[in-house]
Structure 1
């Protein structure tokens, strides 16, 4: 076989291969556009993310506000959270949603849909046919029950300001003091000292 014959044969073989579909490409959530407005945090491209993950926006919205422990509202293309959140805090919850409610655990594709089977919410994959139940999340309850550990980092919602100007939060039986914060802030803080039910923390540098 000559080189020309080989190249022609290779071209014919390649032409018969199926084209790469969009779902074969790496699934990527759009980069978050987050900004602060007073005591609120705005996710500017909320609907763009909803379109990408192909899920009901109300279901997605309720998941985010529940997992962030706050309130919020959908405003046009934007999602407004009560309180201040770092982009990485929001991204962590979006990634958790995508893992549980979008991506197939068998083939790793996003070509899925949510269905109910005898009142149980299931994730069904259109690509490989796999189906699995959605897991219930108990993260917040476990955090409260386990308490705090010195040196660990936690997400803290500041609800008041003390006489010395430190932000104050309540979580279970604990009262947490975080320097340099004010009412309405939601921050990541590292625990420096625990004295009984009193917890002293510093904000993590962003």
Structure 2
């Protein structure tokens, strides 16, 4: 049937030829290997000397030295020093914190804010002696905080440590070179660090434990009666 033969011829794609590309690639790879061996042999023949071997401690020292050279303030830890609180008795029921305004100036914090914190933590009443001591940052040397109650210098010192940790120290770099600003939108205080640029919202001042005295009980009875 000639028609069938013609169809077979039309659809005859011919015999499958083997590609020579693979053989050529293999040959090229073989040539490259030979060249590589030659290069490797040349490299092995080159004279070289072994460099110094550093221990872990030596490498760690070098790393810290590089960090200190690039960032001088990061590698060193600055110590924050304050004068100890000084208190004197005023009568039989009050205590005067003599160098209170001076400590506020050293911490660079508003006197009103520190007074609010002290009164809330001690749960007592008090006021600043002298009109010149009511300025925002630091007051006159004669500024004293008069507290109702009997408080020793060690009580004031522990209170200052708590205040410094919450409202002065930066949580990122532990630096005391910070500023306290009040956000106008949230009305919350924000601690901003001058060294690393970090900022955080400080906790709001909450009233601490307030002991009920004989005068408070007497006033409560009079109010009921």
Q: Under a length normalisation based on structure 1, what TM-score does the superposition of the two structures give?
A: 0.56
Report which of the two structures shows the higher radius of gyration computed on alpha carbons: 2
Per-residue Cα deviation, 1:114-134 (whole angstroms, up to 9, x for no partner): 223432321110110011111
Q: CA offset at residue 96 of structure 1?
A: 1.1
Aligned to 2:96: 42
Aligned to 1:127: 195
Aligned match for 2:149, one of 64, 71, 83? 83
SS in 2 for 1:88: helix
Aligned to 1:173: none
More strand as a share of residues = 1
Q: CA offset at residue 25 of structure 1?
A: 3.5
Cα RMSD (Å): 2.8
Aligned match for 1:98, one of 159, 164, 182? 164
1:92-171 counterparts in 2 under 5 A?
92-117=158-183, 118-119=185-186, 120-138=188-206, 140=208, 157=211, 159-160=213-214
Q: CA offset at residue 99 of structure 1?
A: 0.9
The answer to whether the 8 A contact 2:166-2:203 is kept is yes
CA spacing shift, 1:75–1:139, aligned 2, 3 Å: closer
Count of residue pairs brought into register by the alignment: 132
CA spacing shift, 1:31–1:97, aligned 2, 3 Å: same
Cα distance in 2 for partners of 1:17, 1:125 equals 20
SS in 1 for 2:109: coil
CA spacing shift, 1:57–1:139, aligned 2, 3 Å: closer
Cα distance in 2 for partners of 1:24, 1:41 equals 36
Q: CA offset at residue 58 of structure 1?
A: 1.2
Aligned match for 1:32, one of 70, 85, 110? 85
In structure 2, stretches of 5+ residues that fail to align are 1-68, 131-142, 218-225
Q: CA offset at residue 80 of structure 1?
A: 0.7
Q: Under a length normalisation based on structure 2, what TM-score does the superposition of the two structures give?
A: 0.51
CA spacing shift, 1:28–1:73, aligned 2, 3 Å: same
SS in 2 for 1:114: strand
Structure 1: 4+ residue segments shifted above 6 A: 16-20
Cα distance in 2 for partners of 1:93, 1:108 equals 19
More helix as a share of residues = 2
Cα distance in 2 for partners of 1:60, 1:46 equals 9
Aligned match for 1:51, one of 105, 129, 150? 105
Higher RCO (CA < 8 A, seq sep 6+): 2
CA spacing shift, 1:116–1:157, aligned 2, 3 Å: closer
Cα distance in 2 for partners of 1:107, 1:36 equals 39
